[in-house]
Amino acid sequence: MSRVGWLDLSNGVSGDMLLGAVVDAGVPLEDLRAALAPLGLPVSLRAEEVRRGGLRATRVHVDAPEAGQPHRTWADVRVLLDRLPEPLRSPAAAVFAALARAEGTVHGVPADDVHFHEVGALDAVADVVGVCAGIAALGLDRLVVSPIALGGGHADTAHGRIPVPGPAVLALLAAASAPASGGPDDEELATPTGVALATTLADGYGPMPAMSPERTGIGAGGRDPAHRPNAVRLVLGRAGVPAGREEVLLLEANVDDLDPRVWPAVLDALLAAGARDAWLTPVLMKKGRPAYVVAALADPGTAPAVRGVLFRETTTLGIRETPAARHILARTFATVHVDGHPVAVKLGLAPDGRVLNAMPEWEDVARAAAALGRPVKQVLARALGLAEQLAPADGAGPVQEETADDHA
């Protein structure tokens, strides 16, 4: 099974919070210092254990001279990054390139002419290079990022007082087709550097994927509000679901008086409550009334929450509950790239490791299509073609690699 990481950014994100998360997840601080050394910059890193919202976390400080820092252009930063060896140089440059494009879009200037101001400062260079080095050191096959909490209100920047989320943050999210939301506080929770790192390094977006968690790194921000932890979480583990037989409950209800437009929200709520699957079946009830059977599979532990959704979100007055068993293939994920955009592929594995099924994740396909400006059906067809490389038509042999690229 592949190694997967999940970044929980439900409390926002910044470069130093991500630095703290990778260090807390086990990357030695000395390794990050060594990654920065080729730049020859007057910066140093130090870490401390802190509490955020009652949680133990690691905060990494980037110490740099407060005066005399130039307002670097993207061309200046690119010269700095050229001192880095591969494979570190490419992701670090990609993060700053995303920032330059976003700032250029906002200010209406070419990317090479953008003056980074805050994000061109020494601490931001250290954040970007350190986080890229830390993620590489963790040896992840896939990094999934949650929707990003952006905050609200206003923030003071080198350009003056701007609304939150800031224009550069919105431009970064649009370019990456990344999900985000306002709040939960009326202040800036996501910085451009943090958003650029998260969206550039992400292989996909969404809730925590199926995995066996092994370690969690918590990176702290500078503030410590009383009502929430100002931190990001990096959950590391092994992706996939083991094969075998499992006991589940089948919950069903007949509904003949609910506006059909409500059903998609009901199914989403069932899955969010922990249902393994949820679906609708059209039926004909007594007196010729058309209706639906809404059904959900749930573990015994999540069944109460699933029942609650059925009673709350539908008009049913009763729910049938039947014990059931299901036999499942082992499952894991691989990643294919369609014109540079990552698309997760769910793999169904035989007991000997052979790939029996390979199906691209729909949300990733839709996100890639939006970013490329191409019809979803075309991107899906390309992703399916790449996925077939991971599942030989004759079923011979286990999967040999976990990525495939579109070079067309």
Domain CATH for 384: 3.10.20
- Strands (DSSP E) found in 3-80: 3-8, 44-52, 55-63
Q: Which of 274, 303, 328 is the last residue of a domain?
A: 328
Q: What SS3 state is found at 207?
A: coil
Residues 148 and 80 in one domain: yes
Pick from 239, 260, 285: which residue ends a domain? Answer: 239
Domain end (from 328, 349, 373): 328
Query: Tens of pLDDT along 87-134?
Result: 999 999 999 999 999 988 888 888 877 776 544 578 889 999 999 999
Residues 20 and 147 in one domain: yes
Which of 99-103, 241-245, 360-364, 392-396 shows the lowest mean pLDDT across its residues?
392-396
Residues 94, 181, single domain; the answer is: yes
Q: Are residues 197 and 340 in the same domain?
A: no
pLDDT in tens, 45-104: 999 999 999 899 999 999 988 766 667 788 889 999 999 999 999 999 999 999 999 988
pLDDT at 400: 40
User: What is the number of domains present in the chain?
Assistant: 3
d(CA 185, CA 183): 5
pLDDT at 295 over 70: yes
Which CATH number fits the domain that encloses residue 280? 3.30.70.1380
> For residues 177-187, b (16+ Cβ closer than 10 Å) or e, as one string?
bbebeeebbee
| 39 shares its domain with 61 | yes
**258 and 358 share a domain?**
no
Element (H, E) at 347: strand 341-349
Alpha-carbon distance of 306 to 269, in angstroms, equals 8
pTM equals 0.68
Q: Is residue 258 located within the same domain as residue 391? A: no
**Are residues 281 and 219 located together in one domain of the fold?**
no
248 and 372 fall within a common domain: no
Are 134 and 217 in the same domain?
Answer: yes
Mean of the per-residue pLDDT values of the chain = 89
Residue 49 sits in the same domain as residue 117: yes
Looking at the structure, do residues 379 and 311 belong to the same domain, yes or no? no
Closest CA to 93 of 22, 197, 5, 21: 197
Q: Which residues contact 212 (CB under 8 A, 6 or more apart)?
A: 1, 237, 238, 240
Domain housing 376: 330-405
Q: What whole-number distance in Å separates Cα of residue 99 and Cα of residue 194?
A: 10
